[in-house]
Amino acid sequence: MAEGNQVHRRRWSRSWIVLGVLYGIFFFWYTSFEGPLTEEEVAHFSRVIENSPGGQERLERWQGFMQSDTGDDFAVWNAIGLYETPKAVAGALPGESTQQVLDRYSSPFMSKALMRAGHIVMLGFSTGKAIDLWGLEDADNWDQGALIRYRSRRDLLEIFEEITANESSIHAFKVAAMEKTIAFPLDPWYQLGDLRLVLAMLFLIIALLLQLRCNRQR
């Protein structure tokens, strides 16, 4: 009997260790520990932005975003208005819808973001005109809205650098599909569904269920 109890205890201990290690790996991958952007990084990414399409205007908007970096994760709210018919763009097939052209940009972009622990928190499609609006022109109609979480501003800037690095940039699909967009960062930001919390609770439940199973087998 004593030997059987020891076996169960070893199995239970191994379960906690394995789950703890897995959670630790996820936590350190999902969380940024590199701190705010350095002056050298700000200078580097400023050159990258300046050399991109619409670079000077874009740089004026991104400069404060880079210089105010907290080093923490953040989110970007995106409001998107699409053309009824996409603009002609190299790489798109004849007859593709605006959404299909946009997907040629958003799918590889989100793949790069996911590799850096970035992901969509919320995605929705418009059900009508804006129900509250002032101080803006041509802002009644939008097609989509998305809230995207990024591990750090450094990650977003690295993604931007990758997708604008060559002449066949996927950014052209975004320009061909989007008639208008507003994207603004949120930092600090809060959500009840933080994956670090969700995964911790899930692993805790799994560990307790395994412990209960071991107790029943004694």
pLDDT tens digit sequence for 96-132: 999 999 999 999 999 999 999 999 999 999 998 888 9
pTM of the full structure: 0.89
| 178-203 residue pLDDT tens | 999 999 999 999 988 899 999 999 99
pLDDT for res 117: 97
Secondary structure (3-state) at 54: coil
Question: What is the side-by-side strand order in the sheet with 74-82?
Answer: 119-125, 144-150, 74-82, 178-186
Q: Is the pLDDT of residue 208 over 70?
A: yes
Q: Is the pLDDT of residue 3 over 80?
A: no
d(C-alpha 149, C-alpha 110), whole Å: 11
pLDDT for res 97: 97
Q: Tokens 């953040």 correspond to what residue?
A: 74
| 45-97 residue pLDDT tens | 999 999 887 888 889 899 999 999 999 999 999 999 999 999 999 999 999 99
Q: Is the pLDDT of residue 25 over 90?
A: yes
Comparing C-alpha atoms, which of 125, 206, 112, 192 is closest to residue 156?
112
pLDDT for res 168: 63
What's the mean pLDDT in 13-41?
Answer: 94
Q: Is the pLDDT of residue 217 over 80?
A: no
Report how far apart, in Å, the C-alpha atoms of 184 and of each of 61, 75, 159, 215 are: 10, 8, 17, 52
Q: Is the pLDDT of residue 6 over 90?
A: no
pLDDT for res 211: 79
Q: 174 versus 212: which is more confidently predicted?
A: 174
